[in-house]
């Protein structure tokens, strides 16, 4: 693995509250536009902001063979797959590789839980049974989204879903990397799909972690997170002679577990440091070779404080760093893949992104070079952080092929 860790990322796409596909995402990041809006979702009565996508309720949106999977999460996945010619890229991969050797590895947190939540409103008063239209296997089941995407893309390779909260869709890059390097597969579809539901909104509210205003990562007056939803996909292959110069590469993936607390990170950022150091080691890079850090940056008091401690400890020379969750919201199980996509755009645009929503950097945080506004600069390597509940950490180094 040490000799051949680099992966090629020939195609990727992202759909979130900033729009469908990369053009909308890129344009919004360049203008530092936010997609967060006051919460008007289902029956939710909370004073907060959310990042919501425009998902059609058209009954014929999904083809007949996909109808069993119909739920908000899989509709979001299908919407995401339609963008940026991603399906065409997968078709080309199917011409190069056998479809049984293309894996699908996705991250999510609540999958299609919204369908079951709606079903509880119609419980049978005699038996307590959910209504027949609630399809647990193909909607709420965590693996539903990967099963759905594999079927939608006509693939027959191995499939898995990682559900480790906010690091879920970053850790699938590591899973695909292992499968590719072991020779089990020749290509992989990775990413994350996580849609809004009542449980996440009320759950984070009960934890007193929701912001009443659009979130303000690393800001003195940050109040907490704004929850968003997203569908992000990337095609991965081995970095070989087919990979042209200038192509996007996944150069290193570092994982760690705090094993400290069910929801709080290690107070000294130990696990976060280990994940970043492991990613750098696998990428065969030193800390000064990172040109931009795309932070996890949720805008909670604790997360931002601990992440700043960890970043400050790893990077003696402080590269520019920022969080874009003030634009997209925190997309939970899709956040890791969305961070990677935004990091890839930083490489393509040669821009270190600013931090929409942040106005005044919290001076009590450990010293990092935090960007509030975009800065055009040479960007050869990006480090992307994703840290989940329970101290599940994943850092990814992206670069361009020489």
Catalytically active residues are 166, 296, 330
Cα 92 to Cα 98, 149, 157, 207: the distances in Å are 11, 17, 16, 46
CB atoms within 10 A of CB 327: 29
**In sequence order, which ranges of 154-263 are alpha helices (DSSP H)?**
168-181, 198-206
> What would the two tokens of residue 399 be?
């670069």
Q: What token pair was written down for 254?
A: 């570092």
CA distances from 283 to 7, 11, 244, 342 (A): 11, 20, 19, 19
Question: Among 389, 377, 367, 112, which residue's Cα sits nearest to residue 225?
Answer: 389
DSSP single-letter state for residue 330 = B
Residue given tokens 């191995």 in the structure block: 158
Residue with tokens 């890791």: 336
Decide: 385 and 339 in contact? Cβ < 8 Å. Answer: yes
For residue 81, give the 3-state DSSP assignment.
Answer: helix
CB crowding 130-157: b at 16 or more within 10 Å, else e: beeebbeebbbebbbbbbbbbbbbebeb
Q: How many C-beta atoms surround the C-beta of residue 258 within 10 A? A: 22
């Amino acid at each position: 693995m040490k000799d051949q860790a680099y992966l090629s990322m020939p195609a990727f796409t992202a759909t979130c509250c900033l729009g469908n596909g990369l053009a909308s995402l890129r344009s919004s990041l360049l203008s530092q536009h936010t997609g967060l809006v006051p919460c008007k979702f289902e029956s939710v009565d909370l004073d907060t902001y959310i990042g919501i996508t425009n998902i059609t309720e058209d009954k014929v949106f999904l083809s007949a063979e996909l109808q069993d999977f119909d739920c908000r999460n899989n509709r979001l996945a299908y919407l995401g797959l339609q963008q940026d010619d991603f399906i065409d890229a997968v078709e080309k991969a199917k011409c190069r590789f056998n479809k049984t050797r293309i894996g699908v590895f996705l991250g999510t947190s609540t999958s299609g839980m919204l369908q079951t939540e709606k079903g509880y409103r119609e419980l049978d008063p005699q038996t307590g049974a959910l209504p027949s239209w609630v399809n647990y296997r193909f909607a709420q089941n965590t693996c539903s989204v990967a099963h759905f995407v594999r079927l939608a893309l006509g693939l027959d390779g191995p499939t898995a879903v990682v559900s480790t909260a906010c690091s879920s869709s970053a850790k699938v890059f590591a899973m695909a990397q292992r499968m590719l390097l072991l020779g089990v597969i020749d290509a992989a579809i990775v990413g994350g799909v996580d849609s809004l539901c009542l449980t996440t909104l009320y759950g984070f509210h009960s934890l007193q972690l929701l912001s009443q205003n659009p979130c303000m990562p690393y800001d003195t007056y940050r109040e907490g997170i704004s929850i968003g939803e997203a569908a992000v996909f990337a095609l991965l292959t081995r970095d070989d002679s087919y990979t042209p110069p200038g192509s996007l590469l996944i150069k290193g993936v570092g994982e760690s577990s705090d094993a400290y607390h069910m929801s709080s990170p290690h107070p000294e950022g130990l696990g976060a440091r280990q994940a970043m150091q492991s990613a750098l080691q696998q990428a065969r890079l030193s800390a000064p070779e990172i040109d931009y850090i795309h932070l996890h940056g949720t805008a909670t008091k604790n997360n931002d404080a601990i992440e700043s401690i960890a970043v400050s400890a790893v990077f003696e020379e402080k590269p520019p760093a920022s969080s874009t969750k003030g634009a997209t919201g925190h997309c939970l199980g899709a956040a890791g893949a969305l961070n990677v996509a935004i990091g890839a755009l930083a490489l393509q645009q040669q821009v270190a992104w600013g931090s929409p929503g942040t106005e005044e950097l919290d001076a009590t945080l450990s010293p990092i070079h935090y960007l509030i506004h975009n800065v055009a600069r040479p960007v050869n390597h990006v480090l992307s952080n994703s840290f989940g509940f329970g101290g599940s950490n994943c850092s990814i180094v992206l670069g361009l092929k020489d």
